[in-house]
Structure 1
């Protein structure tokens, strides 16, 4: 992990900074709560972790979020797929995020609706949206959704890297041929509550099942275009062709193996048939062996990431593309090293000819539209 390199200070970068002064920027997915939970010294203690200092070994902290001009951030209560007590772990992560809000009220505002992003922008703060990443946190109890909503959760990713009792993962063997009957009830309850359905991590069949059932727009909070990189976590064209009809948003992500086909191919020997790391594998040892045979890991880059944004904008329209970094304290692409880089991303797109209107949609306008639409359907 390295700090972001100084940006190119040209006219495009100056224009990007000016745009982000007036237009809200929202990142759809960041795993900072799990990073704090795993930190050797902090072990989940927000105060010990100290978000006010730059963590050179990571990618997310208050100084770099502010440098990145964020107005809204979706933080994930990630639940490991095989955790024996998923609901308890989700609640612990929600408590951690609530502690961030309490300790840093001068920086973060609770994100409960689209209007909170607008208010945060005006105040010079960041709207912190709490999400659950992995529907196993429900423990197969539909009413748990109501409790999570009341705690402030406004989005749930239906599964993670493993299939579970009611939802098939993109990176695991199917167990339900998509969504089970209970899974479809989950979608309907989320619609009624005003909670965003997130289709990152789910199988293409689940994507289609959800689009058949939902009455509200949906997110892919951190997924790219399968046609440019064939990782199973990316969105195939037949699904992309339904996004505009749903009025949803695909938030392109910074994960190198989801951006670069070369990086994806390099990693294949360390992955199982479904594209995930097998249980018990020593990942560092496996990567060292790959490097010995195939040479250094190919790097993903900011321009390659923008290729995904260009493709998505052409395929589904500028009204349906957003940003979902998936920062989680690991290896990031060149040019997308940490949360300070969003102006450089916007500058690269300015150099590619994106209009101001389309950049404002990408930065946060499309996300705000979906949030408002989901809220409007709340019963």
Structure 2
């Protein structure tokens, strides 16, 4: 085509026109295309290939690619074209729709920059560091090239500003999982969980994306002073679901109820006739309750406290006192344990009662002799 004809063809185009071009040559800093239906050459500077900074034109296009382009400038024999502007116009329409619908979509991380990540959406999208994950990330260097899911959280076409969030997607998914899990939980279920947080009043346990509270009273059958004495953060535990409050998203859990009860196999641990160490927990009018194992209390009836007659257990026993007891009877089904203190004590009363008849016989003999002498004198 002659130079004069080229100039005529060029005059048929105006700045802003959209044209179709086939890539005929890829140079380092620009791309040559043949504009369809005109046989005109068009030039795409490297800066007009992408919304992102690129080092080589070959990173974006290859010979033979068909591209939609916008005319930036009309020169004497060629058109200066932009792929970036056409991509951006198409992208903005799609992005506005995605933003309005709150749509979740995938995109590749093209670059890691100070303060966050860069994504190519036809226009430049930015992901601030705080919106990448739901946890703190110190180094983002291995994120380049990865594909993540995103939601658009801020969109301003005039300022060419698009803010994306992967964290919002994670939190939305977590919220859905939480609701599904809440609706599936039933009282009585036994699950595995991980201790997440320990407080003065109990421990919060993660049971698969949602935390439930194990109150301090549900940590152990034994008395617990501090939850940290029984569990630690990160510990895997078995928990039983006590109740589920769907409206307030609260779950009550128990570790204690997954453990063997303190009365389990009590007949083996405290057989009839066994002598055990115990501690007095409560004193009542009819006896004393003695703890012989954590969570296991037996009754020493007032009649089994002493060989001597006592009016009240308080006369010989005190709260918290450590004593030895003998098992009189054990009933695991009814969780009852009958104990005795007096059976381990020497029966001083009986010994005295046994000696007295000998002494009394002596006195009776003297009395008899005295009586006989009185009769003889008469």
Shorter-chain TM-score: what band?
under 0.3
The structure number with the bigger radius of gyration is 2
Per the normalisation by structure 2, the TM-score is 0.17
- Point out the structure with the larger helix share: 1
